[in-house]
Structure 1
């Protein structure tokens, strides 16, 4: 095995930049999961790397069982790992080392790792000096540090890097697909995208969990499978394939840069954007590849494709934002300076330079008064008041005082009763009442 010290510094940096490995595609401006402010540029889908996230998936792509998050139990995992999926441990940092606490704030795995990431399928990647391995939920080093870089476990497999080559291991650490690829992604619905060759946009295809090539490595770019479909770019045209590699669409869709904007081509609530020409005009197709929303938008004029949420799509017309429904009818007329996706029945909109919230009828239910906001999650939304961040409830009352530091890269949303916040430049966790569960020393 080639040791990390034998890898060139530039190459090591390239590998290291893939970490943290949990990739969340966040749509800025009309997206979710990140505080959006007056100075935030309106961009298309963007990869945000965070140690507290899993890759955002379409509604159909919830592991191999296709259950909802609340119902998910993976039969491949032991009981302890299954319990962790429901009540996960929280990653903490003390001084310069990482460990884990439970949701009551008790340290379960003491901080001792040089770097660490969240648990997935009962395993968490940890770094000791130059190499990566995995621990179990008791903190046991179940897969010794030996890899230059690693990815999360997904469907019983995790990608690993040895000497600049990507392969896969199983939950015991056994190499089940030898390192041989120039790039590799997580398994999704039984398949993983891999790449051969050094050229940046060629040599992509799919393998199964045994390493068998299912879709030949001849594609320019690909997305992961979602709902039985994957978007692929071949010779500048976007199409969709099934898990056998069979083309499922006769439309010739234009490639806007699938690798950088892979979220653009995913189906949300049964619809996906379809860019039809080099001028970046687009509409929306259903899973029968029929246009439900005809080609009426242009990337440069109306902004990048966005996704449906709660049956509504954020649109931009004549410089103003509004909402379109799946019947191609204007549901809420464009009138806002900015608009975000609906979450828990409310959406943040910008009026006269301030953010407030509207309901699905377009009625303002929380008056515009905030410089920056987040979407609602578990009945609470983070808002910026002055230079501090606090939380409001669904009627706009500040129920957790604005006392936390603003950090544009942190995930301020509540998940299972816990949110991550920052104080004095250090992370902390609070409950839905604003009580501290854990604070960095």
Structure 2
């Protein structure tokens, strides 16, 4: 009986810690809804940011602090600005300086750095004498500054530049691919793509394998295939650098659920891993399939199809923000963890897989749902594969 009680208690704790909330704007005020469509925190803030690790930065009378998922102030609003928590640490602007704080609001003494950088995957950059290294959330140096640049970590790996050559490190600062390449991709199953001088290829087990005729290679995502360009057309290669789908397409996006969006001329359809069209090219745009088996497709507006090509949600929505300044922090498209953010008649809401709108509510703004775990586990892979290589640069705080 005791073991059963402990198991049920653990399940309850896991449920509480894994709830998801979305920031929404209604009547010019910001609040947070849960996935049942009800307000967990009523709209009351002029400015706020999404939850991260159980806390959300919100503004109160021009100052920023942090609330928990009940709307209770955990860290008083005394800062000029505030960033999200990651790895148990957030950057805030105290008076005129940016500093690190923990979840109790205590300022953390970090090693000297010419700039202050956000934590990600349990580490943050430090820069000394124009060289970049790493610290962990305990403010200990993990990697002495030695690289000219480190790109943001993805799934525990980061691209590093040294003397205009690129390699790969992990969060321990260990060099997995030596900086010997003119250009390099993400690290996926101990493999990456790279460019050596003018030759594109695959790096595996320390060996560079040229890919015949490749003019460009994109990142590997959720499957063992990625797309590459040859003679101006795009096809797919495998982890060994073999062409497995002939480059005949004008545009493509990543494989997911063994289906990939491809464009011939101006029309998009979906092929399988044998290059057979499962869904004929009839759409003006198309995105990758989510894990629930639905993909966004566009005629004049966006709707959703299933893996057989059946239109299950009519093409009547928008899925991205237009304009010079993006409306959203995250622009991921399609179904993510069971809901899809869409636009209808100038308002934003969340679709369920059956096509109904979550709680039948529309908002002036709606950020993606974010998990509210109250632990220090860094975020890693996202659910949806991307269409191209990310090139995020570090910004001064």
Normalising by structure 1, what TM-score?
Answer: 0.70
For 2:163 and 2:242, locate their aligned partners in 1 and report how far apart those are by CA, in whole Å.
Answer: 35
CA contact (8 A) 1:167 1:180 kept: no
The residue that corresponds to 1:14 in the other structure is none
How many positions carry a matched residue from both structures? 343
Deviations 1:74-123 (A, max 9, x none): xxxx9988535533012211132211111121111011122222222111
Shift of 1:132: 2.5
Greater relative CO (CA pairs within 8 A, separation 6+)? 2
What SS does the aligned partner of 2:226 have?
A: strand
Deviations 1:380-415 (A, max 9, x none): 1111122x2211111112111122235356433112
> Is 2:286 aligned against 1:366?
no
For 1:361 and 1:290, locate their aligned partners in 2 and report how far apart those are by CA, in whole Å.
Answer: 28
The residue that corresponds to 2:4 in the other structure is none
Q: 1:419 aligns with which of 340, 348, 355?
A: 340
* Structure 2, unaligned runs of 5 or more: 1-9, 365-397
Shift of 1:246: 5.3
> Is 2:71 aligned against 1:149?
no
Q: 2:200 aligns with which of 277, 282, 302?
A: 282
What SS does the aligned partner of 2:48 have?
A: strand
CA contact (8 A) 2:200 2:216 kept: no
> Is 2:372 aligned against 1:439?
no
Shift of 1:127: 2.6
Q: 2:259 aligns with which of 337, 341, 346?
A: 346
For 2:334 and 2:21, locate their aligned partners in 1 and report how far apart those are by CA, in whole Å.
Answer: 17
CA contact (8 A) 1:134 1:141 kept: yes
Deviations 1:115-163 (A, max 9, x none): 2222221112223343322111111121122333333222222223335
Shift of 1:420: 0.8
Deviations 1:278-313 (A, max 9, x none): x4x332213x3223x425566xxx235432541112
For 1:81 and 1:374, locate their aligned partners in 2 and report how far apart those are by CA, in whole Å.
Answer: 36
What SS does the aligned partner of 1:83 have?
A: helix
For 2:111 and 2:64, locate their aligned partners in 1 and report how far apart those are by CA, in whole Å.
Answer: 15
Q: 1:382 aligns with which of 278, 282, 296?
A: 296
CA contact (8 A) 2:132 2:146 kept: yes
For 2:156 and 2:23, locate their aligned partners in 1 and report how far apart those are by CA, in whole Å.
Answer: 33
CA contact (8 A) 1:240 1:248 kept: yes
> Is 2:128 aligned against 1:208?
no
CA contact (8 A) 2:340 2:350 kept: yes
What SS does the aligned partner of 1:356 have?
A: strand
- CA-atom RMSD, angstroms? 2.8
Deviations 1:260-281 (A, max 9, x none): xxxx54202332122323x4x3
For 2:12 and 2:111, locate their aligned partners in 1 and report how far apart those are by CA, in whole Å.
Answer: 30
Deviations 1:321-366 (A, max 9, x none): 1111223322111111111101112110112310011111111011
The residue that corresponds to 1:236 in the other structure is 164
The residue that corresponds to 1:220 in the other structure is 148
Shift in CA distance, 394/423, structure 1 to aligned 2, threshold 3 Å: same
For 1:238 and 1:310, locate their aligned partners in 2 and report how far apart those are by CA, in whole Å.
Answer: 24
Normalising by structure 2, what TM-score?
Answer: 0.77
The residue that corresponds to 2:93 in the other structure is 161
Shift in CA distance, 352/186, structure 1 to aligned 2, threshold 3 Å: same
CA contact (8 A) 1:162 1:179 kept: no
> Is 2:317 aligned against 1:404?
yes
> Is 2:186 aligned against 1:266?
yes
CA contact (8 A) 1:124 1:135 kept: yes
The residue that corresponds to 1:75 in the other structure is none
